[in-house]
Amino acid sequence: MKRRSGPDPPPQCSVCGQPPVIRLRDPDRHLCADHLGSDLLERVARTIRTHAMLRSGDRIAVAFSGGKDSTALLLLLDRLLPKGKDISLVAITIDEGITGYRQDTIRSAEHLARHLGIEHAIVSFSDLFGKDLDALLAGREERACSICGILRRKALSHAAREAGATKLATGHNLDDEAQSVLMNVLRGDLPRLVRDSGAPSHGCFLPRIKPLMEVPEKEIAVYLTVNDSFPDLPQCPYTRYALRAGVRSRLTGFEYRHPGTMRRLVEGKDRLEKALDGVQLGGAITRCGECGEPCSGTVCQTCRLIDSLLK
Ligand code: SF4
Ligand code: ZN
């Protein structure tokens, strides 16, 4: 006898049976808003432990643009590191000077830092480099993201050191990490491929940590939405020049059809990094003669870029 097939029963949270807000596919499960929050917090705490990202006495500068990833990072670190404990937070926002974009994100960042009672410093490109990004880019718009990225790293290191930080935390998520692996492969940049690790980078003046590096972007977006914290902000006008945009859409498609693709890509890179431990890739690491940061020549890429932009 043929069994009658009815509609599928509505999905339930795999932990408590309540209506779910998200389906996670690696491994496959549904989670309600509460269990997404606790699951996420637990996984971020595990990433921090596994990679020994924090130490007693640390002062963590959080790179806080006011966008969704850095908002989630600040909220989760604030929950994981209660005030009065021996690890403190300071939020750092960089104002690159992008007309029609940055002012809204800065207002949103100020609002959240104040709400959480977290110290907040704002540093602008024009204070540090004498010009804002729009002016620095005149005629070089197609290089916007690489110039912006290099200068922002410099500005963040500077502001974090000024704030007395011992480490710099950034909101890079699993999608960002997987995209970076693929972009470095597409550029054939092996030294950068194995250098862009999520563990504290002790070669630099200020070690960088990425507590969200194992969290998919979709989860961050849903977590913020169900907690009423999703920053609804304009998009940077230079996004269209980014190589990352094309890589992102292709990787998202692979992840949908083959769940776990992004995690496997990052894990493959980690294995390569371990296999190459101790192997010298690119030039020997020295100190930049102008700013003292680690580099592979006499003057670092950032200082060379700044000199050429200001000529
Ligand atoms: Fe900078 Fe590019 Fe991001 Fe705009 S999209 S803030 S130019 S890195
Ligand atoms: Zn330098």
Query: Is residue 62's pLDDT more than 90?
Result: yes
Distance 125 CA to ligand 2 centre (A): 16
State the distance from the centre of ligand 1 to the C-alpha of 35, rounded, in angstroms.
33
| Ligand 2 center–CA 36 separation, angstroms | 42
pLDDT above 90 as % of the chain = 59
Confidence band, pLDDT 50/70/90 cuts, at residue 151 = very high
Contact present, 200 and 92 (Cβ < 8 Å): no
Question: Each residue of 250-289: pLDDT tens digit?
Answer: 999 999 899 899 999 999 998 998 888 777 766 677 888 8
The bound ligand whose nearest atom lies closest to the alpha carbon of 204 is 2
**156 vs 25, more confident:** 156
Alpha carbon distance 190, 193 (integer Å): 5
> Taking residues 219-247, what's their average pLDDT?
88
Backbone angles phi, psi at 218, to 5 degrees: -60, -40
The preferred substitution site among 64, 70, 236 for testing ligand 1, maximizing ligand atoms within 8 Å of CB, is 236
Residues 65 and 110: beta-carbon distance below 8 Å: no
DSSP class of residue 227 equals: T
Backbone angles phi and psi of 40, in degrees to 5: -65, -45
Better-scored residue on pLDDT, 7 or 224:
224
Confidence band of 202 (pLDDT split at 50, 70, 90): very low
User: What's the sign of the alpha-carbon dihedral 279, 283, 287, 292?
Assistant: negative
Q: Between these two residues, 20 and 293, which has the higher pLDDT value?
A: 20
pLDDT above 80: residue 165: yes
Q: How does strand 22-25 pair with strand 28-31?
A: antiparallel
Would you call the peptide bond into 11 cis, given omega within 30 degrees of 0 as the criterion?
no
CB 120 within 8 A of CB 110: yes
* Mutation pick for ligand 1 pocket among 238, 241, 243, 309 (CB with most ligand atoms within 8 Å): 238
181-201 pLDDT tens trace: 999 898 888 877 876 654 455
Q: What is the average pLDDT score of the chain? A: 88
pLDDT at 278 (0 to 100): 72
Distance 77 CA to ligand 2 centre (A): 31
pLDDT at 75 over 60: yes
Establish whether residue 144 lines the binding site of ligand 1, counting it when its CB lies within 6 angstroms of any ligand atom.
Answer: yes
pLDDT band for 84, please (50, 70, 90 cuts).
low
Pairing of β 119-124 and β 167-169: unpaired
> What contacts 235, CB < 8 A, 6 or more positions away?
101
Instruction: Note the pLDDT of residue 281.
Output: 67
